[in-house]
């Protein structure tokens, strides 16, 4: 059995854990409704008259978006499920670590889903090479904004805190 993950000393403080849990819950309150609306929209597409006219590539893009959105919801709801099913007492630090990983996975899946939806819609409107360029641009902006920027700032802050 693997050893439990080591919790940084400053993260072991109960007040820090409470603050981090509130931040995570607040972020979920923002993200989950948006992802749910996107999923609801995706649920309707196969039942439209024009769905059968989609190319194989467009159907593939649709399916990627559909699955990625469904999995994003699974990960976003994970915090509530973990909290409810685990019961008390529970290791809040471990729960936060798990929920944080699930939130990051959900955000990555959302980037994939949005890229696939953008590709699908753009391909219906402007067949050819344009959909690939537009979808790639959306993916690059999402990755830069949601992953690269925070990680670069984390490294820079750590370097400044160390004296670098």
pLDDT tens digits, residue range 93-137?
888 888 889 999 999 999 999 999 999 999 999 999 999 999 999
- Among residues 104, 108, 92, 98, the alpha carbon closest in space to that of 78 is found at 98
Q: What is the pLDDT of residue 12?
A: 66
Q: Answer whether residue 10 shows pLDDT above 60.
A: no
Range with lowest mean pLDDT among 40-44, 66-70, 89-93, 94-98: 89-93
Q: Answer whether residue 6 shows pLDDT above 60.
A: no
Within a 10 A sphere around the Cβ of 9, how many other Cβ atoms?
8
Q: Please report how the helices 56-86 and 92-125 are oriented relative to each other, as an axis angle in degrees rounded to 10.
A: 160
Residue 129 C-beta-side C-alpha neighbours within 13 Å: 0
Q: What is the pLDDT of residue 19?
A: 83
Measure the CA–CA gap between 36 and 18, rounded to whole angstroms. Answer: 26
Long-range contacts from 147-156, C-beta under 8 angstroms, 24+ separation: 147/107, 147/108
In 63-139, where do the E strands start and end?
none
Within a 10 A sphere around the Cβ of 163, how many other Cβ atoms?
5
Q: For the chain, what is the mean pLDDT?
A: 86
- Domain positions in the chain are 13-162
């Amino acid at each position: 059995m693997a050893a439990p993950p080591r919790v940084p000393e400053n993260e072991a403080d109960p007040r820090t854990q409470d603050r981090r849990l509130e931040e995570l819950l607040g972020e979920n309150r923002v993200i989950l409704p948006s992802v749910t609306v996107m999923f609801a929209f995706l649920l309707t597409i196969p039942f439209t008259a024009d769905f059968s006219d989609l190319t194989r590539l467009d159907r593939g893009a649709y399916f990627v978006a559909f699955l990625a959105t469904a999995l994003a919801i699974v990960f976003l709801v994970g915090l509530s499920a973990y909290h409810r099913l685990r019961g008390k007492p529970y290791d809040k630090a471990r729960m936060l670590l798990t929920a944080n990983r699930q939130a990051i996975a959900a955000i990555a899946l959302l980037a994939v889903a949005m890229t696939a939806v953008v590709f699908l819609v753009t391909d219906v409107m402007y067949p050819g090479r344009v959909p690939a360029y537009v979808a790639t641009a959306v993916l690059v902006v999402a990755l830069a904004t949601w992953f690269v920027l925070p990680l670069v700032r984390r490294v820079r802050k750590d370097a400044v805190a160390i004296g670098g």
